Amino acid sequence: MKVLNTVARVATYAKKRYVAQQHRKFIDNHAAELRATPTGESRYAVALHFADDMVNAYQIRQWYEPLKNLAQHVPVVIIVRQPEAAVALHKECPLPIHFAPTIEALEQFTESQDLRLVLYVNQNIRNFQMMRFNSPNHVFICHGESDKAYMWSNQLKAYDYVFSAGQAARDRLTEHLRNFDVMDRTVLIGRPQIDVQYPVPYKINHDYPTVLYAPTWEGDRPSMAYGSVLSHGEQLVDALQNDGGFNIIFRPHPRSGMNSHAYGQALERIRNKFESSAASSTAKYIYDESAQWGWQWSAADICITDISAVAYDYLATGKPMFITEPVSREATVEDSLALTKLPAMPADEAANAAQLVRSALKTVNKESRALVHHYFGDVTPGASMKRFIDECLNLVKGTTPNKSPGHQPGSLKVHSKSETESEHTRKTA
């Protein structure tokens, strides 16, 4: 036992030395450009704080375009805390990257700039190292709209404001957070990402309708077990491929398979199905691991996804979609409007995916417009992007943000539990 403990200590020490060497190498190679501190009117007024590794880069990538638009008005920077992430984001991000690995580096940078607003896309514990500075407004913008339990984390109380998509987010926070003034602390901005035109990186056969299947990951705890790859995925893909009349874009969550080997194996089997069918099928089967999230919305005619931000991004398009039912009884599932108004796909219906998709493509959801408005407010082209920029600039200028609800009360009804069960039974029948 003593020998094993000694070996473990040596391994830990060696790992720390290796990490320190990598940090020094990084600093030597990139310090000048990634530790620059502009002066005068070029000083940064807005920062996005990103403390994660590249595995969570999907959370920040979706904000590149809105931040580029904001940068046309005020200087914007991305503060990165991990060296590997700083190098990678410096290569791909269209905005300046500032590397601040320590609290001291963060303090020096903050004191040298004119930061009025700091944005956060996730709940990394190192956010609090940045939030110790009183002068900027600290705003949580998240990395997507959804009905996951993550969306009403008690950590939201720590921020000055929460930029939320629409009235649905306010309703969620009102129900779940205590001692939190939702009307005072939330600002509705819609979803600025829907106002960006993303180029499609793949060729698609437009003779066929295109199905986007975008499951979330398996989750890191029972309450977040929304992923459908094991419960639905292979049957669903088989049904669509056997039909032969659909293009498929399969877009797994970037974290898929990290906590479950079986989940990762299922992904590989789906990848193999696509590769083995590529030569013999005129339909296109795309295993999508592209960095950009957004082009899929315009490329797809219908979406099948889990309880995740994907569902709400796609909801804003007004196109038909299905939301899979989690098979885990421990997964937290809210009686939200989206989950009661949108068609559900239970696991035992995955084998009938082709018939369900064909039927949905011919059906008009009359409640779709009111549902979109409830979750995102005004989604006319450019409206969400304008709200995001306007509210950021209000905080930069020291002006109180616009907290008007942007919602017509009574336009949608929140279901009681019995109504939810009745409607859910009807939609999955």
Same domain, 214 and 191: no
Domain that holds residue 174: 26-195
Does residue 263 sit in the same domain as residue 190? Answer: no
Same-domain check for residues 56 and 165:
yes
Q: What is the pLDDT of residue 413?
A: 40
Q: What are phi and psi of 106, to 5 degrees?
A: -65, -45
pLDDT at 66: 97
Q: What is the CATH number of the domain that holds 223?
A: 3.40.50
- At residue 290 the predicted structure's pLDDT band, cuts being 50, 70 and 90, is confident
Residue 7: pLDDT band with limits 50, 70, 90: low
The residue out of 195, 218, 248 marking a domain boundary is: 195
Query: Do the beta carbons of residue 148 and residue 224 sit within 8 Å?
Result: yes
What pLDDT is stored for residue 154 in this prediction?
Answer: 87
pLDDT on residue 5: 57
Do 156 and 215 lie in one domain? The reply is: no
Portion of the chain with pLDDT greater than 70, in percent:
86
Three-state DSSP class for residue 67: helix
Among 143, 167, 195, the domain boundary falls at 195
Does a structural domain hold residue 5?
A: no
Please name which of 190, 189, 192, 188 lies closest in space to residue 405, comparing C-alpha atoms. Answer: 188
pLDDT value at residue 50: 97
Q: For residues 194 and 218, is the Cβ–Cβ distance under 8 A?
A: no
Cα 395 from chain centre = 24
Q: What is the pLDDT of residues 156-166, one digit of tens each?
A: 999 999 999 99
- pLDDT (tens digit per residue) in 50-69: 999 998 998 999 999 999 99
For the chain, the average pLDDT equals 86
Question: 3-class DSSP state for residue 291?
Answer: coil
d(CA 336, CA 340): 6
Write down the pLDDT at residue 369: 82
pLDDT band at 421 (very low <50, low <70, confident <90, very high): very low
Burial of 10 (0-12, 13-18, 19+ CB in 10 A): exposed
Residue 251 within any structural domain of the chain: yes
Q: Reply yes or no on whether the pLDDT at 287 is more than 50.
A: yes
pLDDT of residue 12: 65
80-94, 238-252, 352-366 — most confident range: 238-252
Residue 240 falls inside a structural domain? yes
Tell me the two tokens of residue 311.
């569902």
Question: How confident is the model at residue 417, as a pLDDT?
Answer: 32
* Within-domain flag for 391: no
pLDDT at residue 117, as a whole number: 98
| Spatial separation of the C-alpha atoms in residues 235 and 238, rounded to whole Å | 5
**168 lies in the same domain as 224:** no
Same domain for 47 and 187, yes or no, is yes
**Is position 351 within any domain?**
yes
pLDDT at residue 281 tops 70: yes
Q: What is the pLDDT of residue 406?
A: 47
Query: What is the biggest distance separating any 2 CA atoms in the chain, rounded to whole angstroms?
Result: 69
- When mean pLDDT is compared over 12-16, 225-229, 424-428, the highest value belongs to 225-229
Do residue 50 and residue 94 come from a single domain? yes
Q: Is residue 64 part of a domain?
A: yes
Residues 301 and 336 reside in one and the same domain: yes
Whether 6 maps to a domain, the answer reads no
Q: Which of 167, 195, 223 is the last residue of a domain?
A: 195
pLDDT tens digits along 364-420: 777 788 888 999 999 899 999 999 999 999 999 999 888 775 444 334 443 333 333
Instruction: Check residues 335 and 37 and name the one with the higher pLDDT.
Output: 37
Q: What is the pLDDT of residue 425?
A: 35
* Same-domain status, 171 and 303: no
SS3 (DSSP) at 259? coil
How many domains, the chain? 2
Express each pLDDT in 25-41 by its tens digit. 776 676 678 888 999 99
Q: Are residues 115 and 233 in the same domain?
A: no
Domain-embedded: residue 205: no
Going by C-alpha positions, the residue among 324, 302, 318 that lies closest to residue 194 is 318
∠ at Cα 184 (76, 413), nearest 5°?
A: 110
pLDDT at 334: 73
Tokens in use for 262? 């079986």
181 and 227 in a single domain? The answer is: no
Give me the pLDDT at residue 320, please. 93
219 and 166 part of one domain = no
- Domain of residue 31, CATH code: 3.40.50.11720
Distance of CA 420 to the CA centre of its chain: 26
Residue 170: both structure tokens together: 């306010």
Sorted by sequence, the CB contacts under 8 Å of residue 198 that are 6+ apart come out as 292, 294, 295, 297, 298
Average pLDDT, integer, range 188-202? 91
Single pTM value for the model: 0.75
Is 414:171 a contact under the CB 8 Å cutoff? yes
How big is the chain by its Cα radius of gyration, in Å?
23
Tokens standing for residue 108: 């020096």
Produce one character per residue of 97-127: b if its CB has 16 or more CB atoms within 10 Å, e if not: bbbbbeeeebeebbeebbbbbbbbbbebeeb
Q: Which of 168, 186, 145 is nearest to 402 (CA)?
A: 186
* Nearest alpha-carbon partner for 187 in 408, 387, 410: 387
